[in-house]
Structure 1
């Protein structure tokens, strides 16, 4: 019988990731999740080796329990409970409308006025994980408030026009459907830049090739709620990463004016 092959030790170990903690009390903890990081291990993305839940657990030395979902390419506030009992108590807040969430995004084109989009969305089923689920799903209520904050016209062409226009948006989802903000902005024909599923490939390439931006430009920047244990009004903000900061500086958008602290 052949001996089992032993793994080769690598002398160069990757540097551990230090997550930014933006809120913590004896019951809850929130981080500013980097873009490209999964919340937890998933067989749907089996080649990933770094996860927010495991990284945070190692960082603070105790188990954490995720209270909501944040897509892998989206950055920003991600909340965890510090015990299963607290998770059971807090989860209904996230599934209901007691948690007020604010996102920022850069989208294709110019939006001139604030408005509310009430456009129901059908649940998106995964081809593998949901292959036995009924394909006849009803559309569910999906509501997003959106406000244009700033705009820019860049000297790059993606088609028949010599320039391309983009807009900085504040987005406040009133419901929590899967990919709601990405799907709603695509429905308005103003897809979020960097969205490889619902976005526009020409504009995604423009940002990659001309602006060195390789990520979905969607950031969970703010979150507020009434703490059910202490009754305190909690308001949390999470700053944007270097890609966002560089783009905003290049576009002449004052980062402090839009509460990107």
Structure 2
């Protein structure tokens, strides 16, 4: 790894700090305190896996926002990329995030460095030229070593009341969605919530919101740590209210969904991104 392309870009922002759990920082218009963010969760540190004059592939850690969502939010991947590519930007470059990962999902993000590259890569994505794969830790042991979930997905709030606006569900009137799964490993681990787990390789043929998480749960094997599609979606609401707690840890086992964008391919080339430490530790590696 080229250490010059390992980016760490801490900064300060206006936050309301909750020292009770040490892991929650909420935005508030009334608070103007200049307190450091929790760098364990929010520092935009990432690794460049591959880079050309036109694009780069970076390994995004879990808990890092990909791009700004509200004014004054903690540093994002885009902030770190802009700091890293300051020379390119000063010479006419323009950064564009071609694919985006959920905040808690780790792994490969494709970034265009010029307007021309962004157009080419966006068209390639629309034509489904990219080969993407993920690793996921799930509860239970799937019966088959390979299985496919081909079920349409839509937002739950379009069908019935949902306290979680972003929650998606399988619904016959949803958008066509297909995910292939392969079991790479079945293992046993004594935990506060279950003893049998599996490592899946996931191949989404379509790109719906939360698709892998929804299809994994639909198959009966929710992703470990998933606050919305795991044991109980009340975990998500509790997390929003209280931050990470010992009660949530007993239910979810990991403080984020154990989903990692590990593979990316295009035009005869393929790149791999190794598992992050939290997933490797869960596997006992």
Q: Same fold (TM over 0.5)?
A: yes
| Residues 225 and 167 of structure 1, relative CA distance in 2, 3 Å threshold | same
Residue in structure 2 matching 1:48, options 58, 61, 73: 73
Unmatched tracts of structure 2, length 5 or more: 1-31, 166-171, 236-245
> Shift of residue 74 of structure 1?
0.4
Offset from partner CA, 1:18-65 (integer Å, 9 cap, x none): 42001110111110001111110013xx66311111211102213411
Cα deviation digits, residues 228-250 of structure 1 (max 9, x gap): xxxxx221111222212212226
User: Would you say 1:219 and 2:267 are equivalent positions?
Assistant: no
Question: Residue 52 of structure 2 is aligned with which of 2, 22, 25?
Answer: 25
The aligned residue for residue 256 of structure 1 is none
TM-score, structure 1 length as denominator? 0.75
C-alpha contact 1:112 1:148 (8 A) present in aligned 2: no
Alignment pair present for 1:147 and 2:188: no
Name stretches of at least 5 consecutive residues in structure 1 with no aligned partner.
1-6, 131-136, 227-232, 251-261
> In 2, are the aligned partners of 1:28 and 1:79 still within 8 Å (CA)?
yes
CA gap of 1:9–1:74, structure 2 versus 1, over 3 A, is closer
Alignment equivalent of 2:127, drawn from 92, 96, 100 = 96
Alignment-derived partner of residue 239 in structure 2: none
Number of the residue aligned with 1:83 = 114
Matches within 5 A, 1:41-190: 41-43=68-70, 48-61=73-86, 62=89, 63-113=94-144, 114-123=146-155, 138-156=173-191, 158=193, 164-190=195-221
Provide the residue aligned with 1:199 in structure 2: 230
Change (3 A) 1:122 1:42: same
Residue 133 (structure 1) aligns with = none
Equivalent in the alignment of 2:284: 249
> Which protein shows a greater Rg?
1
- Provide TM-score, normalisation by structure 2: 0.69
**8 Å contact from structure 2 (residues 186, 197) kept in 1:** yes
SS, match of residue 140 in structure 1: coil
SS of aligned partner of 1:104: strand
Q: 1:188 to 1:11 in 2, by over 3 A?
A: closer
Would the alpha carbon gap of residues 157 and 52 (structure 1) be closer, same or farther in structure 2, given more than 3 Å must change?
closer
Please report the RMSD computed on the Cα atoms of aligned residues, expressed in angstroms.
3.4
Q: Within 2, Cα distance between the matches of 1:14 and 1:168? A: 29
